[in-house]
A and B are shown apart, each in its own frame.
Chain A
Amino acid sequence: MIALSLPNASTFASKVDGLFDFILWTSIVSFLIIVVAKVWFLWRYRRSQVDEKKTTYLEGHAPTEISVAVILTVWVMVIFAWGWKDYKYLRAAPRDSMQVNILGVQWKWYMQYKDGRKLTNELVVPKGKPVQLIMTSDDVLHSFYVPAFRVKQDVLPKTYTSLWFEATETGDYPIFCAEYCGLSHSGMIGKVRVLEPAAYEAWLLNAVALGDVVPKTLAEQGADIVKAQGCIACHSSDGAPMIGPSWKGIFGTTEKLSDGSEAVVDENYIRESLMEPNAKVVQGFAPVMMTYKGRISEEEVNAVIEYIRSLK
């Protein structure tokens, strides 16, 4: 019989466990107070002990009620504040996070690394370094959940969501899909392999050493795609504006749009520009870009984004 285990394997896990334990113990204490009082009353004031016509007439006691309400409010506000504080930690991926693209499809996970390699249902990461997952789905909602890290985020089609973690223990940890997605939802299982940094470096080199054709990095794949799809007819990578804005240095900046509003050039903006190119046009440029909806795959979109990101 295999025993249940919940490793504490990420920096976030300790935070979650801390608040979980606080809520657990304070709840157990409150629960015991109520139950002990109730059982005591049931016993001490049972009908055979107290004449049913001679109970005490008591309508209430406002000071007690108000005190109970105040104590409760303070308690739940503490829980809220603590949960929010730790949640903010979870939502702020460190700038130097190692990024991996995740594609969820019915019913498996694809992991796309910057160096171009693609794994299925396996995410290999180094211990002690923050890792950020940029995730999208090819079909329906999924959710990327690693119980050992206590992290989870829904994965949506046609847009990117992200989550980050820093693993603190080596080992293998299950990835579960945590948003019902059809027939094999419970079979959509992956594995995070956390390696010591040295072992991770060795793993990175290993694929090269196998003697096969060196896979192109994700950015290199993106460079190929923008040539093949004709993007370079309107966009340059050297800073010179053509029919469309140049990609050089554009990733992460804030652009003014033709309608006066602003947009940050991030993964979702580039994705939207590929699919709905005239939704957010940079000021000074004409809305003439064609759409690539249905013409490039999700992995190719990831590669294009990586290429643009690399043009500093």
Chain B
Amino acid sequence: MSEGHNEPSYLWAKRGITSWLVTLDHKRIGIMYLVLVMAFFLLGGIFSLLLRLELMAPGATLMGADTYNKFFTYHGAIMVFMFIIPVIPAALGNFFLPLLIGAKDVAFPRLNLASYYIFVIGALLAVWAILFGGADTGWTFYTPYSIKTGTNVPMVALAVFVMGFSSILTGLNFIVTVHKLRCPGMTIYRMPLFVWAIYATAIIQVLATPVIGATVLLLFMERLLHIGIFDPALGGDPVLFQHFFWFYSHPAVYIMILPGMGIISEVIPVFSRKHIFGYKAIAYSSLAIAGISFLVWGHHMFVSSQSDLANMLFSWLTMFVAVPTAIKVFNWTATMYKGSISLKSPMLYAVWFLFLFTIGGLTGLFLAALSVDVHLHDTYFVVAHFHYVMMGGTVMGLLAGFHYWWPKMTGRMFNEKQAQVAAWLIFIGFNVTFLTQFVLGYYGMPRRYYDYAGEYAMGNLISTVGTWFLLAGFGLMLFYFLRSLRHGAKAPSNPWGGQTLEWTIASPPTEHNFHETPTVHSLPYEYGVPS
């Protein structure tokens, strides 16, 4: 333990706001990302609450159609590009990847800071676009509408282009870090599973993101220079846009979920006091998911006029992604078998993840089946599916990670009772909001609808009420986390009994993490008595 050395924590090692703005410390960079990205989560969340207020009743409730169309565009674009893609890798990954492998920092600390500022610039461009001109295309910017509409599509395209570089450079940094900076004794099969997850994610970030960069650049050029690539009036092909867009955006959803799964792989063994079940299967499945993710983008385009052959291949390939995913769910559940389980808040969120992500994954099967997808495509069934995997999956994983690692990052414990209450509010609110949407979609309600037929009124009302529980839960969470910074009990090095390297140092850590480079001798899941 390094507590005896009386060194200040990374929070106080250097003082003043400038020391933060020019920091090269991965932990400070992680915190700066965390604050910015969670602010965008709040903003994206506000838009979703307003959308659902409008949808509470048929007809105009509090806004006109144009505002509604802009708001669902902002909700989607902010949540996807400014929250869920960066959050776990850039916030928690930055903070914990070096700690988990016994390193002082990431491979390229300056590049890391550059990634942050590139993200900030991209985010500012996005905010500019929202304030000046707006965007009403949906987060998918399909052509020709995105070419013809008078809203500020070029600025949004530019914002996405810039933010993409942040993702690519973070991915690059992490890949090199994992290869080069592992401490002595940490073979790849002794890496914590969160590291495998971040690594697989980084591969996708580096390979896929350039494609969205090219896509938005071409869209920008189409609008300004009329190059005629996507605009059918100029001989272009709107379906080509969809191929380009989804070639990135499908792997992107695995950028979103893999890190969340990595957190679950850390939390369940600790809170069950049991070795993870099937370490190699979980590690390899992360790589398998990353690989298969590049082969299935056309399942977003089954009714786009894409050929029958392409539809058949994409449906077939999509089915395969279910297998490594289900192996993980099986292994996490099996880890709990004969364990000694504590349902403290990190574990409670892991349990929510298992429940909600499984529903999300299973509903993907409906959408992957060609004939059924013809009916369900572009309905609320799809909206419910992706909220179950992205919010019920990634966000629950994120929340498990926050609660698990908050003591380490801040040196404070939060109020566990309030955390339990918030967790239940979020779980109930989430299901009320989104389970209803599966029903609405099955009965034919299309998505991105400002108004709807009378028979959908009850379902929409119920769904909106669910969002108020979510608001209450997240509000309570913000309250107890902020309060803990001042009034929380001082956190010990290892409040949860974890075995990964971050728990061997003080909470919060000193600036350079480890007093001496650690050496590892085994996997960090050595709980229990061999039988």
Among B136, B232, B355, B444, contact of A157 (Cβ-Cβ < 8 Å): B232
* A117 interface contact, C-beta 8 A: no
What is the bound-complex CA distance between A224 and B381, given in angstroms? Answer: 47
B371 to chain A, nearest CB (A): 4
Contact of A56 with B355 in the complex, beta carbons under 8 Å: no
Return the 9 tightest CB-CB contacts between A and B, nearest first. Answer: A147-B444, A83-B369, A86-B371, A87-B370, A186-B449, A57-B528, A60-B278, A76-B319, A50-B340
Ordered by A's residue number, 25 sampled pairs between the chains whose C-beta atoms are within 8 Å are A4-B458, A4-B459, A6-B442, A12-B371, A45-B337, A52-B497, A58-B275, A59-B277, A59-B279, A61-B278, A65-B331, A80-B315, A87-B374, A90-B371, A90-B374, A145-B378, A150-B375, A151-B374, A152-B375, A157-B144, A157-B232, A179-B378, A180-B138, A180-B142, A186-B452
Contact of B232 with A159 in the complex, beta carbons under 8 Å: yes
Contact of B366 with A20 in the complex, beta carbons under 8 Å: yes
A77, closest chain B residue (CB): B319
Contact of A141 with B450 in the complex, beta carbons under 8 Å: no
| Contact residues, B365-422 vs A (CB, 8 A) | 365-366, 368-375, 377-379
Contact of B305 with A20 in the complex, beta carbons under 8 Å: no
What is the bound-complex CA distance between A150 and B239, given in angstroms? Answer: 23
* B474 interface contact, C-beta 8 A: no
Contact of A140 with B336 in the complex, beta carbons under 8 Å: no
| Contact residues, B184-238 vs A (CB, 8 A) | 232-233, 235, 238
Contact of A84 with B305 in the complex, beta carbons under 8 Å: no
| Interface segment, one of B17-25, B95-103, B251-259, B320-328 | B320-328
* B518 interface contact, C-beta 8 A: no
Among B333, B374, B448, B529, contact of A55 (Cβ-Cβ < 8 Å): B529
Chain A residues within an 8 Å CB radius of B319: 76-77, 79-80
| Contact residues, B327-362 vs A (CB, 8 A) | 327, 329-331, 333-334, 336-343, 351, 354-355, 358-359, 362
Contact of A4 with B527 in the complex, beta carbons under 8 Å: no
What is the bound-complex CA distance between A112 and B175, given in angstroms? Answer: 58
Chain B residues within an 8 Å CB radius of A85: 371
Among A5, A77, A143, A176, contact of B455 (Cβ-Cβ < 8 Å): A5
* A183 interface contact, C-beta 8 A: yes
* B308 interface contact, C-beta 8 A: yes
* B312 interface contact, C-beta 8 A: yes
| Contact residues, B131-171 vs A (CB, 8 A) | 136-138, 142-145, 148-149
Contact of A55 with B273 in the complex, beta carbons under 8 Å: yes
What is the bound-complex CA distance between A286 and B444, given in angstroms? Answer: 51
A176, closest chain B residue (CB): B446
Contact of A187 with B142 in the complex, beta carbons under 8 Å: no
What is the bound-complex CA distance between A90 and B320, given in angstroms? Answer: 24
What is the bound-complex CA distance between A20 and B438, given in angstroms? Answer: 13
Contact of B238 with A141 in the complex, beta carbons under 8 Å: yes
What is the bound-complex CA distance between A151 and B449, given in angstroms? Answer: 19
Contact of A55 with B281 in the complex, beta carbons under 8 Å: no
What is the bound-complex CA distance between A16 and B444, given in angstroms? Answer: 13
Contact of A37 with B272 in the complex, beta carbons under 8 Å: no
Chain B residues within an 8 Å CB radius of A245: none
Contact of A158 with B277 in the complex, beta carbons under 8 Å: no
* B439 interface contact, C-beta 8 A: yes
* Residues of B contacting A: mostly: helix
* A210 interface contact, C-beta 8 A: no
Among B303, B365, B451, B458, contact of A1 (Cβ-Cβ < 8 Å): B458
* A82 interface contact, C-beta 8 A: yes
* Interchain Cβ contacts within 8 Å, total number: 285
Chain B residues within an 8 Å CB radius of A76: 319-320, 322-323, 365, 368
Contact of A19 with B371 in the complex, beta carbons under 8 Å: yes
| Contact residues, A24-73 vs B (CB, 8 A) | 24, 27, 30-31, 34-35, 37-38, 41-42, 45-47, 49-61, 64-65, 68-69, 72-73
* B507 interface contact, C-beta 8 A: no
Chain A residues within an 8 Å CB radius of B232: 156-159
* A3 interface contact, C-beta 8 A: yes
Interface string of A1-13 (1 = CB under 8 A from B): 1111110000010
Chain A residues within an 8 Å CB radius of B455: 2-5
Among A2, A47, A150, A180, contact of B448 (Cβ-Cβ < 8 Å): A180
* A185 interface contact, C-beta 8 A: yes
Among B138, B281, B341, contact of A42 (Cβ-Cβ < 8 Å): B341
Contact of B333 with A42 in the complex, beta carbons under 8 Å: no
Give the contact-size bracket for chain B: 35 or more
With A86-B371, A87-B374, A152-B377 as known contacts, state yes or no: A42 contacts B343, CB within 8 Å.
yes
* A276 interface contact, C-beta 8 A: yes
What is the bound-complex CA distance between A152 and B371, given in angstroms? Answer: 10
Chain B residues within an 8 Å CB radius of A61: 277-278, 334
Chain A residues within an 8 Å CB radius of B444: 6, 145, 147-148, 174, 176
B384 to chain A, nearest CB (A): 14
B378, closest chain A residue (CB): A178
Contact of B144 with A139 in the complex, beta carbons under 8 Å: yes
Among A86, A140, A143, contact of B145 (Cβ-Cβ < 8 Å): A140
Chain B residues within an 8 Å CB radius of A152: 303, 374-375, 377-378
With A152-B378, A161-B305 as known contacts, state yes or no: A183 contacts B372, CB within 8 Å.
no
* A15 interface contact, C-beta 8 A: yes
What is the bound-complex CA distance between A243 and B354, given in angstroms? Answer: 70
Among A5, A52, A83, A189, contact of B370 (Cβ-Cβ < 8 Å): A83
Chain A residues within an 8 Å CB radius of B449: 185-186
Contact of B366 with A58 in the complex, beta carbons under 8 Å: no
* A181 interface contact, C-beta 8 A: yes
What is the bound-complex CA distance between A42 and B333, given in angstroms? Answer: 10
* B456 interface contact, C-beta 8 A: yes
Contact of A187 with B454 in the complex, beta carbons under 8 Å: no
Q: Select the residue from A90, A141, A183 with max chain B CB neighbours within 10 A.
A: A141
Contact of A143 with B378 in the complex, beta carbons under 8 Å: yes
Contact of B333 with A34 in the complex, beta carbons under 8 Å: yes
Contact of A182 with B333 in the complex, beta carbons under 8 Å: no
* B443 interface contact, C-beta 8 A: yes
What is the bound-complex CA distance between A187 and B446, given in angstroms? Answer: 11
Among A55, A68, A147, contact of B330 (Cβ-Cβ < 8 Å): A68
Contact of A83 with B371 in the complex, beta carbons under 8 Å: yes
Chain A residues within an 8 Å CB radius of B144: 139-141, 157
What is the bound-complex CA distance between A35 and B351, given in angstroms? Answer: 10
Contact of A140 with B148 in the complex, beta carbons under 8 Å: yes
Interface string of A114-158 (1 = CB under 8 A from B): 000000000000000000000000011101010110111110111
* B6 interface contact, C-beta 8 A: no
Chain A residues within an 8 Å CB radius of B320: 73, 76
A77 to chain B, nearest CB (A): 7
Chain B residues within an 8 Å CB radius of A182: 69, 136, 145, 149
A134 to chain B, nearest CB (A): 13
Chain A residues within an 8 Å CB radius of B336: 38, 41-42, 45
With A65-B331, A150-B374, A159-B305 as known contacts, state yes or no: A41 contacts B337, CB within 8 Å.
yes
B226 to chain A, nearest CB (A): 15
Chain A residues within an 8 Å CB radius of B275: 57-59
Additional pairs, 9, CB under 8 Å, beyond known A19-B369, A41-B333, A46-B342: A1-B458, A20-B442, A38-B336, A60-B280, A80-B368, A141-B143, A141-B144, A148-B444, A152-B378
Chain B residues within an 8 Å CB radius of A45: 272, 336-341
* B311 interface contact, C-beta 8 A: yes
| Contact residues, B55-100 vs A (CB, 8 A) | 65-66, 69
A158 to chain B, nearest CB (A): 4
A151 to chain B, nearest CB (A): 6
* A91 interface contact, C-beta 8 A: yes
